[in-house]
Chains A and B, each alone.
Chain A
Amino acid sequence: MFMVLDIAAKQQLPVVDMASTFAMRQTRMNENKNKRMLWVNHIERIRDQKDQTAFAELFEHFAPRIKGFLIKSGANLSLAEECSQEVMATCWHKAHMFDPSRASVATWIFTIARNRKIDVLRKERRPEPEELTWGPEEEPDQTDVMVIQQESEQLGRAIADLPEVQRDLIKKAYFGDLTHSEIAAQTGLPLGTIKSRIRLALDRLRHEVK
């Protein structure tokens, strides 16, 4: 399945009527959707084949974005560069921990970058929730993977479609240091569907704590 998507993503999909914004939008949507699955495939190639080409592509897309995130969080240039490399190295080493039925690759990398930010910039202990482990089913269902990746794409579009003022507030909430009341004043994003999908994914995992 990944092979098929892989090819589809690389094809230039023909846009017959350039005036049709709908068609263009659909094309863009499909490309983005396939891109999500492509990133999932990249992580799997890194996990299964230690694929350096896949890693280089992942690096090219995400490393500078992580660097930007760390700079906005208060890191200087050299620290941000160093930490971005460490975050990407962690992606390599922890590729087996990524659950594509629960998060997009971007989300997974965001949490690694955020953790690194706390470790390096705050120099505090970072309490983490108990990990949920896989139950009898070892691998996530491919349909679940597709759905959560699509939901992520839709969430991304919902953010992009927000009025600029609101979008900036969200960016600041995650990328800068807003006070809590400022953070609270924003969003209103449609989290309902993605939350229920994540919940389904969580429910399949083994809950050790009673």
Chain B
Amino acid sequence: MNNNMYNAIKHHLSDNILLGYSSGSLPEAFSLMVASHISLCSTCRAQLESFDAIGGEVLNSSVETDTPMASDSLNATLALIREGPTHKPVPSRIDDRVLPKPIQDYIGGGLADVKWRAVGMGVKQAILPTSDAASARLLFIPAGAAMPDHGHQGLELTMVLQGAFKDEDDYFARGDVEMADSEIHHTPIADINEDCICLVVSDARLKFDGLIPKIMQRFAQM
């Protein structure tokens, strides 16, 4: 256990994203981002589980008489239980200092198993197979190189997995998430000390309408 690591994360997921994960309404690629970040960040895990707690209260206070179960339902469920748990083969975690388990599950292995494709200037990427609603990929930027200028529309989240990058205002290290919408134009540069590997998810259609600062302010006051 290394608490310093957790405290070191400075750039977290927004409440909208965590709430979206909690309610099960995010596109798969964004769920992958949340699951990966949560694997590294106790602060966001606690926030997510607080949103789950609201979900639990909403469930608990809902009116059950509107939707009664079928008359033989309990017996059918007990029969289901006797059949035993439906085992889905869960791939075991590989000891990998870069990829958290949710990403390992998409790679089918660790960092050494990533099938990179060169995109020029030493930059490489690997598309992760998610549903079409949004895209996810791993990006490799050589130390000291500029991130490729990839014009995007809508929301894009970038989380550092190895190395670091900096833009005009900020420095992003392992676990930090940078959030950019189509209005942000910047040229992040990978830190000189190490090649930078990031998880990038984007969705042209997922727009947050400038509400992020507002909700952030509200929760910051808690």
B-contacting residues of A (Cβ < 8 Å)? 52, 55-56, 59-69, 71, 73, 80-81, 84-86, 88-90, 92-94, 102-104, 106-111, 113-115, 117-118, 122, 124-130, 132, 135, 151-152, 155-156, 159-160, 170-171, 173-175, 177-178, 180-181, 183-185, 187-192, 194-196, 198-199, 202-203, 206-210
Contact = CB atoms under 8 A, between A and B. Distances in A.
Contacts of B215: 184, 187
Contacts of A125: 28, 130-131
Contact of B56 (A103, A181, A190, A202): A103
A65 B74 contact: no
Contact of B77 (A89, A124, A132, A196): A89
B193 interface: no
A65 B69 CA distance: 9
17 contacts: A64-B64, A64-B66, A64-B67, A64-B69, A84-B69, A93-B81, A93-B85, A103-B56, A109-B56, A114-B22, A152-B56, A155-B57, A156-B57, A180-B20, A181-B209, A207-B3, A208-B93
A198 B69 contact: no
Interface of B: 1-3, 5-6, 15-16, 19-20, 22-25, 28, 31-32, 34-36, 38-40, 42-43, 45-47, 49-70, 73-74, 76-78, 80-81, 84-85, 93, 97, 100-102, 105-106, 130-131, 206-209, 211-212, 214-215, 218-219, 222
Contact of B55 (A52, A110, A199): A110
B57 A106 contact: yes
Contacts of A127: 28, 31-32, 34-36, 102, 105-106
Contacts of A61: 64
A195 B76 contact: no
Contacts of A84: 69, 73
B35 A114 contact: no
A194 B61 CA distance: 18
A124 B131 contact: yes
A67 B67 contact: yes
**Chief secondary structure at chain B's binding surface:** helix
B20 A194 contact: no
B53 A103 contact: yes
Nearest to B207: A181
A64 B59 CA distance: 10
B81 A92 contact: yes
B50 A128 contact: no
A80 B1 contact: no
A178 to B, nearest CB: 8
A106 B53 CA distance: 8
B61 to A, nearest CB: 6
Given A68-B63, A203-B42, A184 B16 contact: yes
Nearest to B130: A125
Given A85-B77, A114-B55, A207-B2, A69 B62 contact: yes
A202 B19 CA distance: 19
B212 A184 contact: yes
B137 to A, nearest CB: 14
Nearest to A108: B56
Contacts of A122: 24, 131
B53 A183 contact: no
Contact of B42 (A90, A113, A117, A202): A202
A16 B47 CA distance: 41
Given A85-B80, A86-B80, A191-B219, A183 B19 contact: yes
